[in-house]
Structure 1
């Protein structure tokens, strides 16, 4: 079983790469953002709660996120592995993920981080807003808050995986195919 954390700031290309990788390696892609958006669209209890944080550019509390993620994993008992996209976002979430996976005699094989500079991220998010209809991609203030939140609260998760020799930084600027090739080299080595 291969379990990969696909990591990077908003707009780095995680969702795009996860779609290619899930097919190539027959993995289940779990995007916390997609799960939250589904729940918000359907006004579930989780969706209403998540929306109150996301609209402010804040992270959804760990307990809510972890419970939701565990439920998604449980829906796929026969999976060959998972791509965790947008999770973990904090060191405590990384620890909770390790504890959950260890109960299943599994673990994270590697964290693959798409590294993209801030100006490129802003440009990508602004473009995505035009096609996705995502309000959080259209407001420059919210975009900056999301990037700042990532830098302050999420980027330290890198250290957690570096200490385990499971961190792999990838240049996230270039063609989709070129970036996929770099990621595939890492996945093949895990």
Structure 2
């Protein structure tokens, strides 16, 4: 089942045609896949905090060393680090026309930080896309991914911890967003191509 909720926007939001999308969903809900598919369909980059972190880990940067312990244990990286990374990334040239955020924001403080970042661009978040998937499916997806990619953050104990943190800290943000932003809730267990077509159609029908 899917639902849309549109809240009246300010005149400044109506005048801004850039797509600034937030993908929300539990670990394993398919945010990464949908981010890539939607990026091609909508012509804006996907910005994944997980990918940014892993890039620093691969390059063994100072930031990579800092975040390694958090990722390996399933804990989230502190806001001060993540906020700075996202602000720098959405300021790059390829994100001038908009972006799709995957894995951010995850706390109310990050929501407020993101509002500040896009406010500097004289815009606002276009929509939040919430991917809903049952816990059994999430666990199976991450078990399969761990076998295929050998990711430390997909270790069974780490997965459970990540789901617990998501349910406690991040899931409530979807309801928070409903008071000010369009929220599109979709069944994340659908076939990826079908799901991305559904999401992009609803995003384009935002008038």
| Range of TM-score over shorter length | over 0.9
Q: Give 2:120's aligned residue.
A: 103
What is the DSSP-based 3-state SS (H/G/I as helix, E as strand, rest coil) of the residue aligned with 2:74?
coil
Q: How does 1:33-182 map to 2 (within 5 A)?
A: 33-76=50-93, 79-137=96-154, 139-182=155-198
Q: CA deviation at 1:43?
A: 1.5
Distance in 2 of aligned mates of 1:77 and 1:18: 15
1:182, distance to aligned residue in structure 2 (A): 2.1
Unaligned runs of 5+ in 2: 1-17
Q: Which 5+ residue runs of structure 1 have no aligned equivalent?
A: none
What CA distance in whole angstroms lies between the structure 1 residues aligned with 2:54 and 2:202? 30
Cα deviation 1:92-136 (Å, max 9, x = unaligned): 101110111111111100100110000000000011112222121
Deviation at 1:153, TM superposition (A): 1.0
2:45 and 2:94 in contact (8 A); partners too: no
Separation (CA, whole Å) in 1 of partners of 2:144 and 2:95? 37
Q: 1:6 maps to what in 2?
A: 23
Q: Structure 1-normalised TM-score?
A: 0.95
Instruction: Tell me: higher relative CO, structure 1 or 2? Use CA pairs within 8 A at least 6 residues apart.
Output: 2
- In the alignment, is the contact (CA less than 8 A) between 1:88 and 1:97 conserved in 2? yes
Query: For residue 188 of structure 1, what is the aligned residue in structure 2?
Result: 204
- Give structure 1 regions of 4+ aligned residues with deviation exceeding 6 angstroms: none
How far is the alpha carbon of 1:188 from its aligned partner? 1.1
Do 1:4 and 1:111's aligned partners in 2 also have CA atoms closer than 8 Å?
yes
Over aligned residue pairs, what C-alpha RMSD do you find? 1.2
**Residue aligned with 2:26, SS:** coil
- TM-score when scaled to structure 2? 0.87
Once the two structures are TM-superposed, the CA of residue 78 in structure 1 deviates from its matched residue by 5.8
The total of aligned residue pairs comes to 189
State the shift of 1:77 in Å. 5.7
Kept in 2, the 8 Å contact 1:91–1:156? The answer is: no
1:186 deviates by 2.2
